[in-house]
Structures are given as C-alpha cells and as structure tokens.
Structure 1
Amino acid sequence: MSLESTAIPRPASESSAQSNWLSWLLVSFLIYVLLAAVGAIGAGFKAAAGSNAQELFAFASNPAIALIIGVVATALIQSSSTVTSIIVGMVAGGLPIAIAIPMVMGANIGTSLTSTLVSLGHIRNGEEFRRAFSAATVHDSFNILAVAILLPLELLFSPLATASELLAGLLVSDTSVSMSGMNFMKVLLSPASDVLKASVAWLPGIWSGVALILIGIGLILLVVTQIGKVLRTLMVGRAMNILHTAVGRGPASGMASGTLITVLVQSSSTTTSLIVPLAGTGVFSLKQVYPFILGSNIGTTITALLAATAINGAAATVALQIALVHLLFNLLAIGLIYVLPVLRQLPVRMAETLASQAQHNKGYVVAYIGGVFFALPLMMVGVSRLL
C-alpha cells in the first residue's frame, strides 16, 4: 500500500476554520484602512481650506440642499455607511454640524433605494411583487416620515445637536482621562497617515489636500465594499439562521436581530436585501419585517461611530458628535413613530398603498423611484433657491 493511499486528508472543519481566520484577519485590515481613510479626509480638508473650511461648504448652507446631498450621494453610492463615514471626515475638516445633520438624515433616505431595487426581482409574479415592494418601501416610508418630523424639530430646537454635543463631550473627556493623555488611535493610525500624506506631498499648495480628500473617499468606497463582501461570506449563513429564529418572535426581537445582522455585515443595504425576498415569498409578513428594518437603521450607525475613532485632537469631539447624531436620529425616530400608536401604522399604510398601485401598474415603480430619489430632490433645490 502506498503512502499516498494511507495519507489522512485534512478535515474540512480545519480547512474552514483556517479560511475563516484569514477572512477575519482581512476584515481587521480593511477596518484599519477605513479608519486611516476617514482621517485622511479630515486632514485633506484642513490642508485644502486651512482656517476657511466653513466657507468651503457655502454651497450647502441651506439645510434642504444638505439633505439632498445626503439623499443623492447615498442613492448613487448605495451605502449610507460610506456616506456617513465621509461626513464624519468632513466634519473633522470643518463642515459645520448644522449642515452635516441634514446630510446624515438624507443618507437614511438614500440607503432605502437598495431594498426597493431588490424587490424588482419579484416583478413577474404579481402577488410576490406586492409583498416584496411593500416590505421595501416601508423602509423608505419610515425614513421619509422620520425626516419630515425630525428635521423641522432640529431646525427649531436643535435636540439632536444638543444631546450629541453633551454625549460626545462626556465620552471624549472620559476617554482622555482613562488613557492618561495617551492617544491610542493616533499612534495606531500614524503609519498609514504618514504613507497617505507622503503620497501627495509632491503636489503644490491646496492640491495636496484635495488629492488626500479624493484618496480618502476612494479608499472608503473600496474598503466598505470589500468589507461587505467578506462579511457576507462569513455571516450570511448565520444571518439567515438569526432571521428565521428571531424575526417572527415579536417587535423587540425583530428589531434586535435587524440591528445585530447590520452590525455584523456593516451594511443596512445588505440586511434589507436579505429580508425583502423572504417577504416576497411569504416567509415573513410586513408586520414582522417592519421592526427588523428599523433595527437595520440602528445597526448601520456603527460604521460612523467606528470612523469617528480615527479622528484625534480638537476635531475628535465634533467627529464623534455627528456619528452620535446618526444614532440618536434613528433611536428618536423609532421612539416617535414606532412606539406611538397614532404614527406606527402610517409607514405600513403608505407602503401597502404604493405596492397595490405598483402591482397593477408598473409605471408607479418608475414614478416612485424617479420621484423620491431624483425629481423631489431637484424640486427641493428649486424651492430653496426661491426662499
């Protein structure tokens, strides 16, 4: 008998464990690059604008324009995590909080386009399409209603800006005391920051800052996409198990599972893309999908909070503040809309009505996507210019 015939094959579980270990190592590296990219955006804005960073964003001085920027950017990039990470870097570079807050709200609306597009996969089956489209557009409806309620309140009374400023001050203060003045993240990220800055040092004047911004944005786009791909491979099987065991147990369980899965895959677009087909095939009802999708809104805020840790110095507080705004906005929206019975069913009714119309006339689908993500933003631009 030959040695080859007696060789013991490597167990599949051992090979799988090694592959998972390498995948998690890759995720860790990608997160490191993400943090360095966010820091590069802040450094780039400072280098390009100097002390006049606020004037750089004069084009977005109107909250309506800022909201539109958030909607359109997220709809185009298909990732609120990416857009909010970029906003964190912009705030660190001088973007006013008052302008960044509507941008973050707009990102919440823009990200819901993904699930709407996913629902089109059921368009050939009328009943499946109605269920899938209603599950997708309940996300849109909730986020649009949340902005319609909370943006005017924010402009009048600034609850999000005030609460996030207090929390950020406490957290940054506590961190600085516990670390005895040592900036751990600065030390950790300095090698990557030095490499990025050196790569553009040859450019004259403000162009080095502009190049650093573009490199930072490009890296964020690349890294968030790659993190999503790797985590989907690692977590989708487990995510599906969580869905089947948790979503149907009630609103609290559904919301918690939506939050957990979105934190794991770092993308609310991925989470909603998982649930919409299941709703279309009748595995879950719209009543069960609704709180799950709200949980994905909470889970997606982890990326901005993570990105804020890349910022150091005087800008650390404001960077953390805008990340906290994203979290508080989603928590407050759930507290106002889902908890209050008078508002809870409004997004559901909106979604069901739209889905019924779309089932009978597919032109409503084109009108809806074009109107919410293109025509409405353009109309708001026109109105804001007249005011």
Structure 2
Amino acid sequence: MNYLNILIPFVGGLGMFIYGMQIMAQGLENAAGNRMKSLLEVLTKNKMMGVLLGAVITAVIQSSSATTVMVVGFVNAGIMNLTQAMGVIMGANIGTTVTGWLVSSVEWAKVLSPSTLAPIAIMVGVVIMLIGKRRSSKEVASIIVGFGLLFVGITTMSSAVAPLQDSEGFRNIFVTLGSNPLLGILAGTLVTAIIQSSSASVGILQSLAAAGLVPFSAAIYIIMGQNIGTCITAILSSLGAKKNAKTAALMHLLFNVIGTVIFSVGAILYFEVLNTDIGAGVITQTQISMVHTAFNIGTTVLLFPVSNWIIKLAKKIGRVEEDEQDRSRVLLDDRILETPAIALQSVVNEVERMGQIVLESMEAAKTVLFTQKEEEIQFLKEEESTVDRLSAGITNYAIKLSSLQISEKEHQSVAHLLQIVSDMERISDYCENISEFAETLYEKKESFSDVGKEQIKEMLDVCTDSYRYALDSLVEQSKEKAFRVIEKETQADDLEISLRSKHIKRLTNNQCNTEAGIVFLDSLVCLERISDHARNIAEEVLEDLT
C-alpha cells in the first residue's frame, strides 16, 4: 500500500476543510456584525449569560480556541473578570460542537451529500460573489463557498483514507487506542494541539469514521483528548500576558482536564463492566457528533455548580489575586482583534470610559478657580496625564483595527472614534489649563470679583452641559442629545463675546484686578474652546448615525 498516495490527498483535504471553515466563519461573523457588538454587553451579566455568550460566539466563529484566546485578551485588558471568563469558557466548549454536526449531516440529512451539495454550494457562492454588489451579498457568498469547501475537504479526507479499511495494522492502532484510555486521550490531545483546532481534529476523526476505521471506545477517548488539546492555543496566547490572563487560560485547561477525568472513569466502567461489546463496534460520524456534544454539555452541567472552586484552584496554582483596576491602563488587547466586530465595540467602551474621566475633570474645573485648593489642582493634572495615556493607547489600537479586513461602515466608525478621542483629549488639556489658572491666582493671592465669579460660573455651567450632552449622545447614540450640544455651543459662543465685552469695561473702569482679569479672559477662551470640541464630538456622532 502506497501511504504517500493516501497522505497527500488527506493533508490537502484537511487544508481545504480548515480553509472552508475559516471562510464560512468570517462570513458569519461579518453578517452578525452589530449583533456581535451587542453581545459584548452580556459580559457584565451573570455566569450563565457568559455560558450562552461563549456558545453563541464560538458557533459563529467556529473555533473554541479563538473564543478562549479572546477571553484571555479580555481578562488581560481588565474588561472581564475571572468569573465572567469561566462562563464564556464553558460555553465555548458547547459552541464548538456545531462544526461536527455540519459534517455529520451527510448521514442524517441525505440531501446534504457532499458529492452533490458541495459543488453546487461552491458554484452558487461564486456566482453571488461575482454578481453581488452589496456587502451583505458578499458575506452570504462567503458563507456558502466556505460551506461547500468544508464538505469538499471532508469528502477528500474520507476518500483518501478509504484504502486503509483493508489495513490490519491501521485498524490495530485504533483498537489499541480504544483498549488503552490513556493512549486514546493522548492521541486526541496531541493531534488537536498540533493543528490548534478541536473542530478540525473532530473533522479528521469523522473522516476516519466514515471509512469504518474507528471503534466506539477509541472515539470516546480521542474526543476527550481533543478537548484538552484545544487548550494549547489559549495557553500559548497567555504567554507574556498578566497573571490574571494566564489564570484564565489555566481555568480552561483545568475545566477540560477535570471533565475528561470524570467522564473517562465513567467510560472505562461502561466499556469494561456494563457493556463490553459496544466499545469494539464501529462508530459513525453522527455518533461522534452526539458524543462530542453530550460530553461538552455534560461537563458544563456537572462542573457549573463548582466552577468557583475551579477559579480558586487556578488562582492558587497561578499564585494570583485580581488586582484593583488602574484607570490609566488601556483596557484593550490585541487578542480581541481576532474578532473585529467585538474589538470595535471594545474601542467604543473604552472611549466612553475615557469620556467619563474627562467629565470628572470638567466637574472639578467648575470649582477649582474659586477654591484654588492644591488637591483639586493636582487632581486635574493627574487626570490629564491619565487621559493622555488613554488617548495614545486607544488611538494605536484603533489604527490596528482599521488595518484589518473590516467593512466600510466599520472603517467610518473607527475614523469617527479617533476624532472623538482627539477632541476629548483637547478638552482634558483645557481643564488642566484651568487648573493652572487657579494655581496662578493662588500664588498671586488674587481672586475674581463677585460679578466675575457669577459670570465665569455661568460660562462653566454652559460648557460643562455642552460636554455632558456630547458624551451622552455618544453613549446613548442619541441625535437629540447631539443637537442639544450644538445649541449649547452657540450659547457658549454668544456668552463668551458678551462676558468678554463686559469684563473689558470693568477693567477700563478699574472695577477688578488686572492679574485676575487676565486669568478671567484666558478662562473664557479655554471654556469656549471646550464647547467647540464638544460640538465636534456631537457632529461625529451625528455623522456616524447617518
């Protein structure tokens, strides 16, 4: 038997299977688009919601490894805690079973026979891709073509290994794996770790099963090993990350290892004591899908009540405690870029967080000119440094995101966010300038006149409201709030002209101190520019909403 003639088409089929899976997943992800973004909000919910989220995202992107890598990124960025991560990890194990059901559908849905359906799917997809003009058409085409290629790949693999049915040596290998649980688990672990995809390794197992080569017992142990092998991607991804992120990867490993140990013991008892004949029987593709799904759902149901213990064990092994969040650290991670739709929502969340910090600076600026307290002056300076670091980090991340294959609408959203970040950073600069004006008044032991205080308070209120409405328009995606900003900005412009004129008259009539008067005028300039930047933010929001 010429094994080279078997290996070459088998490897080619595997490559086509993985490529088809990736194309289909990318099409599904792009089509999901905004829905994927909204799923991020679920991360703030309970652990059960995390399980559902993990299952849905993994079903869409067709890879539990990619989902857990994303989880590591979220934890490393500080936007997901370990409890939330545990839920998503459990859900990812369930979501990854979808690919197996697609492959086994050739048995329980005869109309989906690869020999007839795959070429038709590819042809239909290509036609849509060539004649379709809309972005949604291209996404549908990607899904259909990927679906076809996946089936062509699995058919090629199955055909390649068909001659091995007559190989006693090859059959004996699987008999050995079935009679020795440790070897079966190890085989599944190594294959999955090498190709870094449990979906692909299950596809390989199903192609061998289609050729009638895999005993039931061997398949059980190999599937369990595949769940352990899929952890390698997250573990490698966590290298160089914070301890919390490494703990998240360790949680994934512990969860799968514990589940494998429990179900392996059950499988051994079943095959060796309760039903000694079934283990030697040949397993089908559909049965592999059933076992894979039952194992992952069963593990989740069994370990969900004690998942907090797994978290504690992982933290103890990793010698880590969750640290208090540093506000100046950018809560974004390159791992999340693997899923651009969610990465974009992460940027939006981070811009909103930065906006809240700037709002705190605005509120502090409303009083610092009058109190001239050293701690308030220092607070504004520290806040400005925090905003500078956030601005730089968000900008760099957004640029990386814009370089990916994202839609035109998403490119526009990134551009709007970059401009908003710039405007927020400038507002923070002006707030720091106001703190420096307060420092000048304190050093010179000067203050505004009573009339000057009332007037500058009025300007502060208008400009603070202008920025608050701008931030609300971003967070709520509200056109109404954005138009309120424009009204406030016009009011601030008129007020600045009026107050400047009145103040110059007071200076001319010697009704106020010259030193304090200069600070008054400089403060008016800063506040008027703050309202300008608030209007810029509102206009970016309006453009993004159109």
Question: In which range does the TM-score fall when normalised by the shorter chain?
Answer: 0.3 to 0.5
- Structure scoring higher RCO (CA < 8 A, sep ≥ 6) equals 1
For the pair shown, the structure with the greater C-alpha radius of gyration is: 2
Normalised by the length of structure 2, the TM-score is 0.31
TM-score (norm 1): 0.43
